[in-house]
Amino acid sequence: MSIPRGTAAASSIDLSKRDLTLDLARVFAVLLVVVIHLLEVGVGAGPHGLTISRPLEHQRWFNAVTWVFQIMPLFFVVGGFASLTAWRSLVRRGGGPADYVTSRVLRLAQPAFPLFVFYVIVVGAATLIGVDPKLLGPVVLGAGSPLWFLAAYGLCQAVVPFAVHWHVRAPKRTLLVLLVGAILVDAARYATGNTAVGLLNLFFVWVLIQQLGFWYADGWFDRRSWWQLVLVALGSWATLFPLTSWGPYSPDMLTNLNPPTVPLIALGLSQACVLRLLRPLLARLMQTRGARATVFLIGSRLMTIYLWHLPIIIILAGVALLIPGASPEPGSAAWWWSRIPIYALVLALLFVLSLLVGRWEQPRMVGRTPPGWAVAFAAVLTIVPPTLIIQYFLGLELAIVGAVCFGIAIPVLARWPRAAAPVGESAPSAGAATSA
């Protein structure tokens, strides 16, 4: 299927300017994810050996907090804005779907590959030396929980050329079709009790939220007055009450994340409105040199921070057990206060780690753009393993599958042989193929 390139004409934004408030929102979202996971990991030494708990989820106010701080829908809204602007910029320079998907899938695949290799080595070694499966299982399950993002965001990026076409041709109808699809998937899932059916909403829910980012980029939220944005935000947020009280959905928005469900759509719309309401304040903040430097420093390492923060949190928890007095009882007052220095330490270690693996966040092709079938094959290789992890959780087998699939996808995308140049002409450089 070909994608019309005339979509560039529909752009209503000035691509020569970068909205730094979106970079700030993206950084905030990832740093908040680190905070949440740090508060969810409780490791202690009990009378029967090591105990692993989730102190954050035991708080009475936890469900209510997730209605505000389940921030991943905002990440996909911001991703939609960035995707639309990048696609239109690429089209204006003569690029096409294969160029876009190649670049975007590489940005996910390359940082993820060393992590899968790490899990193969660590989980494989722990299995060989006979670590108790009752201990190893929950640790590996928790460590692999953020990998859902690779499936969801990879799928969204792979369909951007099509999604932009739908957005230009019929923006309202596209949202309606995706919403109906998400509702039908949830209905089938809860009616049958088959969780695997819900995986279809990796497409319907997250692509719909990405489309909201397209609307944001095209100025729909800019054209709303402040009171309209407030009403839309409150109205969409208020739908969570009937959905969780009378509907089948959990009041815990983290539970509604995997597989994704309709309440995330309401959160995404509400968060998009709030982001637009805060934009003047955030824009003033981003005019300061300190804020720009911080956002650039963290933003250039976002995938490293996101992918590696849980392994580091778990390793630190294990090391603390070996130091007398360094591991307070999870959920105690001392434990809660200890999260502040531990959070700073996690970020410091992630920065050091980024010096070693951060180069994987800067994919560079060394050949021409692969043909469409090769790009599609590589995209599938990067989407399937994390999708399986959502359903079956991370273990040694899926870690191996992930390492192999990502290890194949990267050279397929990045090292496609250069086309032979006509006589008298030089072959295009790799940089020209990936300038998007």
**Model pLDDT, residue 420:** 45
Per-residue pLDDT of the chain (436 residues; tens, 9 = 90+): 444 443 333 333 343 457 899 999 999 999 999 999 999 988 877 666 677 888 999 899 999 999 999 999 999 999 999 999 999 999 999 999 999 999 999 999 999 999 999 999 999 999 999 888 888 888 888 889 999 999 999 999 999 999 999 999 999 999 999 999 999 999 999 999 999 999 999 999 999 999 999 999 999 999 999 999 999 999 999 999 999 999 999 999 999 999 999 999 999 999 999 999 999 999 999 999 999 999 999 999 999 999 999 999 999 998 998 888 888 999 999 999 999 999 999 999 999 999 998 888 876 666 788 999 999 999 999 999 999 999 999 999 999 999 999 999 999 998 776 554 344 333 333 333 333 3
Query: What are 349-357's contacts with CB under 8 Å, separation 24+?
Result: 349/312, 349/316, 350/301, 350/304, 350/305, 350/308, 350/309, 350/312, 351/301, 353/304, 353/308, 353/312, 354/301, 354/304, 354/305, 357/111, 357/114, 357/304, 357/308
**Model pLDDT, residue 429:** 33
Query: Phi/psi at 46 (nearest 5 deg)?
Result: -105, 180
DSSP codes, 325-356: TSSPPTTSHHHHHHHHHHHHHHHHHHHHHHHH
